[in-house]
Amino acid sequence: MGAVYLPSQYGLLLLPLANVQVKAGDSLRITCRYSHLGKAESQSLYAAIGNSGWAGFDEVLHASKTISVPEDTSWNYREDYLDISITTALSAGVYDLYAKIGGTIAKVISPTLLDVVEVLAQTPDSQFGEISITGYVKV
Domain count, the chain: 1
| 94 touches 117 (CB < 8 A) | yes
Amino acid, single-letter form, for residue 63: A
The CATH number assigned to the domain holding 64 equals 2.60.40
Q: Is residue 2 part of a domain?
A: no
Q: Is residue 106 part of a domain?
A: yes
What secondary structure letter does DSSP report for 14?
B
Q: Is residue 130 part of a domain?
A: no
Query: Does pLDDT of 108 surpass 80?
Result: yes
| 110 touches 102 (CB < 8 A) | no
How far apart CA 78 and CA 36 sit, in angstroms, is 8
Other Cβ atoms within 10 Å of 76 Cβ, number: 14
Grade residue 17 by pLDDT with cuts at 50, 70 and 90.
low
pLDDT in the model for residue 112: 87
Q: Is residue 4 part of a domain?
A: no
pLDDT in the model for residue 11: 57
Q: Is residue 115 part of a domain?
A: yes
pLDDT in the model for residue 105: 86
Q: Is residue 137 part of a domain?
A: no
How far apart CA 67 and CA 45 sit, in angstroms, is 6
Looking at residues 17-40, what average pLDDT do you find? 89
Q: Is residue 136 part of a domain?
A: no
**Among 46-60, 71-85, 125-139, which stretch is predicted with the lowest mean pLDDT?**
125-139
Indicate the pairing of strand 27-38 with strand 9-10: antiparallel
Strand ranges in the chain using DSSP code E only, listed in sequence order: 9-10, 20-22, 27-38, 41-53, 56-69, 72-85, 93-102, 106-109, 113-119
Q: Is residue 34 part of a domain?
A: yes
- The residue range of the domain holding 59 is 9-119
